[in-house]
Amino acid sequence: MEIAIGFQTSLKPSISLRNPNFIKSSYTNSSILLANQILGLGLSSSVNTSRNLKLNNRSRFSNRSSINCAVSAATEPATETTQLVRRGDVRNIAIVAHVDHGKTTLVDGMLRQSKVFRDNQTVQERIMDSNDLERERGITILSKNTSIFFKDTKINIIDTPGHSDFGGEVERVLNMVEGVLLVVDSVEGPMPQTRFVLKKALEFGLSVVVVVNKIDRSSARPEFVVNSTFELFIELNANDEQCDFQTIYASGINGKAGLSPENLADNLGPLFEAIIRCIPGPRINKDGALQMLVTNIEYDEHKGRIGIGRLHAGKLQRGMDVKICTSEAECKFARVSELFVYENFSRVPVETVEAGDICAVCGVGDVQIGETIADKAVGKPLPAIKMEEPTVKMAFSINISPFVGREGKYVTSRNLRDRLYRELERNLAMKVEDGETADTFIVSGRGTLHITILIENMRREGYEFMVGPPKVINKRVDDKVYEPYEIATVEVPEEYMGSVVELLGKRRGQMIDMQGLGSEGTSIVKYKIPTRGLLGLRNAMLTASRGTAILNTIFDSYGPWAGEINTREHGSLVAFEGGTTTSYALCSSQERGQLFVRPGMEVYKGQIVGIYQRPSDLSLNVCKRKAATNVRSNKEVSVVLDTALDYSLDDCIEYIQEDELVEVTPSSVRMCKNPKIAFKKK
């Protein structure tokens, strides 16, 4: 096997910390000795004293043996028990990154070059984003499995979401893998979600291969990105072996990769080689009792519920009797009716699955995520999946507007309750609680986008309901109120920097970093800001920066209450009469502010029809008709109306305040005043 040793001398933060012309490896004394014997080299490595001090005494990952990236697995320390062995023919990896850093596009290239598709087969872009909502928004929402073969080795790949609100999907699937591909943009470098997914991977003790993607961009700065990534490893208390990560430079859209940014191969071969060399095979108990942790759920109209997970020990066969355990005291029995493995972008039925592989199991009834499929006689449950707590909550209730039942199929509180609690079966990062009344439910999630995706899916399924404004989940410690804080990273052109800084300052944000991005004329600022201050911030920031600012956030920690924050400076225009809007009424109404409605639209009393210019609310009549008299005018007066604002579901949820609601139906999204709360008048 090819031997390559990476070493650094006199590392300093101000210079390049990694040599792209060498393959970085996680070496031990024994691996260096082996390299000396084979290559005849006298390798000496000296590492910065400060780095050694930071990386000493790392016992938290001692449960996993060190993985030698570029050295044969035979040189691993023989500290494992005789029952645990590593499979050499399987690699289980997850591809993790910040949103829009090119994970799914890179998977496309890996699938194409592995000959998963025919040469003449038409394949859409971002094939892993199979959900309609994912394709519309251009983001990955759900983690998905596939597999490829490279040199007789099966590589199980899990594509994960890049948005911080869907971090629960990442936390779940890391139980199934031994390593991750950390994809980092060649210009932006490590971003907030990069930090989150890397932190989770290091906590699990996983091997990491860093992929600097989009290396073909004209403003690419690979040296800065690799150094920033290395510093991030140090900040997250990575051990010595994890800090010596392998770096691959790639262009996912062109299907090229290499060990240096100037010398890319014509294919992704170097990436595949790095996966085989640097990601260890699964450690299994081949002859032990059956154990499989269910980490994902799918549903098929014919097969019913399908449990997906990695087989940790033993062997699973079709027709086998098993028990499903939540804990040792809570177990139920089932029989495996069908068994599948993932091959070339599809599920393939098999008779037997050996430990270490990822499989899908049918016939196990109402199995839940986090449960263990174990041997019927002596099987024991695996540790449950742990999730971080949600930070934002919203109130869901039945539709109480005059238009109730016109567009939706499911409108009762029973329909709403069943659907929300059914969501918990798959979405472990979400919580649902009964509200103060029988028709109100409190839904908690990682962020507003996390809950908004659920709302969008429900309206497409035919549900009709109302949602209240998002609220942060506070904690009380020693009679003091603590609220969630997030790290907000904003990329903005320098000419709009002042407006963005002023906006973040008004929302109790504290600047922690500012840096230039290079030739593109943009700068990056980082703020620590209360989650309350982020509610409604995105639209305000786009307005202040003329649509050029890019905002990314990630949860940081809980901190003391920051004080009152005014998230909206304008009131609402409210219809005080129901009916059909007219051009005559809208012509005079638009002088009061910006309207949401156009002529000919039906509105009801209490519906929000626009944004008022002042902080208070104003009731007006948008259905008034021109008086019909027998007095003729000399000429017809033409009415010129401004273009109405077209708010999406996300925009409406950001806009509403404490005394307002969003009415969600399959065909429409409207805003109205909460009839149970008196609204602000002029």
Average pLDDT, the chain: 79
- Residue 389: how many CB atoms within 10 A of its CB? 13
Whether 582 is in a domain gets the answer yes
| One domain for residues 279 and 319 | no
Whether 460 is in a domain gets the answer no
What is the pLDDT, as a whole number, of residue 68? 41
Domain end among 248, 283, 318: 283
| One domain for residues 603 and 623 | yes
Name the H helices within 257-328: 269-278
What is the pLDDT, as a whole number, of residue 131? 66
The confidence band for 463, taking pLDDT boundaries of 50, 70 and 90, is very high
Average pLDDT value for residue range 464-470: 93
What is the pLDDT, as a whole number, of residue 632? 59
The confidence band for 30, taking pLDDT boundaries of 50, 70 and 90, is very low
Domain end among 560, 586, 615: 560
Whether 593 is in a domain gets the answer yes
- 310-335, pLDDT tens digit by residue? 888 888 888 888 888 886 667 888 88
The confidence band for 455, taking pLDDT boundaries of 50, 70 and 90, is very high
**Pair type for strands 207-213 and 179-185:** parallel
Q: Which two tokens stand for residue 78?
A: 């023989």
- 612-665, pLDDT tens digit by residue? 988 889 999 998 887 766 665 555 567 778 888 888 898 899 889 888 999 999
Average pLDDT value for residue range 510-537: 82
d(CA 182, CA 96): 5
| One domain for residues 543 and 501 | yes
Q: Which of 108-112, 113-117, 142-146 has the lowest mean pLDDT?
A: 113-117
DSSP 236: T
What is the pLDDT, as a whole number, of residue 470? 92
| One domain for residues 265 and 224 | yes
Contact 587, 639 (CB under 8 A): yes
Residue 38 pLDDT more than 60?
no
**Pair type for strands 321-327 and 358-362:** unpaired
What is the pLDDT, as a whole number, of residue 57? 38
Domain range enclosing 526: 477-560
Residue 344 pLDDT more than 60?
yes
User: Burial code of 457-477, b = ≥16 C-beta within 10 A, e = fewer?
Assistant: bbbeeebbbbbbbbbbbeeee
Residue 112 belongs to domain with CATH number: 3.40.50.300
Whether 172 is in a domain gets the answer yes
The confidence band for 249, taking pLDDT boundaries of 50, 70 and 90, is very high
d(CA 579, CA 604): 6
What is the pLDDT, as a whole number, of residue 128? 58
Kindly state the percentage of the chain with pLDDT values over 70.
81
Higher model confidence: residue 114 or residue 311? 311
| One domain for residues 645 and 582 | yes
Whether 15 is in a domain gets the answer no
Using DSSP, state whether 252 is helix, strand or coil: coil
Domain end among 375, 391, 414: 375
What is the pLDDT, as a whole number, of residue 15? 35
**Bridge partners (DSSP) listed for residue 342:** 347
| One domain for residues 553 and 596 | no
Whether 537 is in a domain gets the answer yes
What is the pLDDT, as a whole number, of residue 43? 31
What is the pLDDT, as a whole number, of residue 126? 57
The domain tally of the chain equals 4
Distance between the two ends of the chain, CA-based, in angstroms? Answer: 79
Q: Which of 7-16, 268-277, 526-535, 566-575 has the lowest mean pLDDT?
A: 7-16
Average pLDDT value for residue range 604-608: 92
Q: Which of 21-25, 172-176, 251-255, 387-391 has the lowest mean pLDDT?
A: 21-25
Provide the Cα torsion 13, 15, 20, 23; round to 10°: -40
- Which amino acid, one-letter code, is at 155? I
What is the pLDDT, as a whole number, of residue 122? 56
What is the pLDDT, as a whole number, of residue 603? 93
**List of residues 6+ apart from 234 with CB closer than 8 A:** 51, 54, 55, 243
Residue 680 pLDDT more than 70?
no
Residue 65 pLDDT more than 60?
no
Residue 163 pLDDT more than 80?
no
Task: Residue count of the chain, please give it.
Answer: 682
**Global pTM?**
0.75
What is the pLDDT, as a whole number, of residue 609? 93
Can you say whether residue 29 is alpha, beta or left, with left for phi > 0 and alpha for psi between -120 and 50 degrees?
Answer: alpha
Secondary structure percentages of the chain, helix, strand, coil, to 5: 25, 30, 45
Residue 541 belongs to domain with CATH number: 3.30.70.240
Residue labelled with tokens 């490595």 = 45
What is the pLDDT, as a whole number, of residue 203? 86
d(CA 505, CA 184): 29
Q: Which two tokens stand for residue 642?
A: 């401004």
Contact 608, 673 (CB under 8 A): yes
Residue 99 pLDDT more than 80?
no
Pick the closest to residue 503 from 545, 453, 550, 454 (CA basis).
545
What is the pLDDT, as a whole number, of residue 82? 43
| One domain for residues 149 and 290 | no
| One domain for residues 528 and 623 | no
| One domain for residues 113 and 188 | yes
d(CA 517, CA 508): 25
| One domain for residues 191 and 255 | yes
Is residue 349 classed exposed, middle or buried when 0-12, 13-18 and 19+ CB atoms within 10 A define those classes?
exposed
**List of residues 6+ apart from 158 with CB closer than 8 A:** 92, 93, 94, 95, 143, 144, 145, 173, 176, 177
Kindly state the percentage of the chain with pLDDT values over 90.
19
Whether 251 is in a domain gets the answer yes
What is the pLDDT, as a whole number, of residue 117? 58
- Which amino acid, one-letter code, is at 29? N
Residue 649 belongs to domain with CATH number: 2.40.50.250
Q: Which two tokens stand for residue 127?
A: 């094939």
- 349-380, pLDDT tens digit by residue? 899 988 888 888 988 877 888 888 888 888 78
Whether 53 is in a domain gets the answer no
| One domain for residues 341 and 192 | no
HSE at residue 383, side-chain half, CA atoms within 13 A, is: 6
What is the pLDDT, as a whole number, of residue 109? 80
Residue 447 pLDDT more than 90?
no
| One domain for residues 164 and 235 | yes
**Bridge partners (DSSP) listed for residue 209:** 181, 246
